Structures are given as structure tokens and as C-alpha cells.
Amino acid sequence: MNPSRDGSEVVSAVADRVRADFFRRIGLDSLLTAGSSL
């Protein structure tokens, strides 16, 4: 088992997408940076 390939990158990407969607839905999309806009 390689700990550097534990799937955390996928989890982080999904969490970022969910967070960005949540901020957009509640009208706080101004808190998103250009790099986090998915």
C-alpha cells in the first residue's frame, strides 16, 4: 500500500467542488478565489 496514493486528492477535489457550490447557492460566491472556482 502506497500512502501517497490513498485517494485524498479525489476527496479534496470533491470537497472543494461541494464547498464552492454551497457558497454560490447561499450568495457568498465572492468568497471564492479565481483558483477555487470550479
All structural domains of the chain with their residue ranges? 3-35
Size of the chain, expressed as the number of residues it contains? 38
Q: Rounded to an integer, what distance in angstroms lies between the CA atom of residue 22 and that of residue 16?
A: 10
Contacts of 32 (CB under 8 A, 6+ apart): 20, 23, 24
Report the percent of the chain where pLDDT is more than 70: 79
Q: Is the pLDDT of residue 33 over 50?
A: yes
Q: Rounded to an integer, what distance in angstroms lies between the CA atom of residue 34 and that of residue 16?
A: 13
Q: Indicate the average pLDDT of the chain.
A: 82
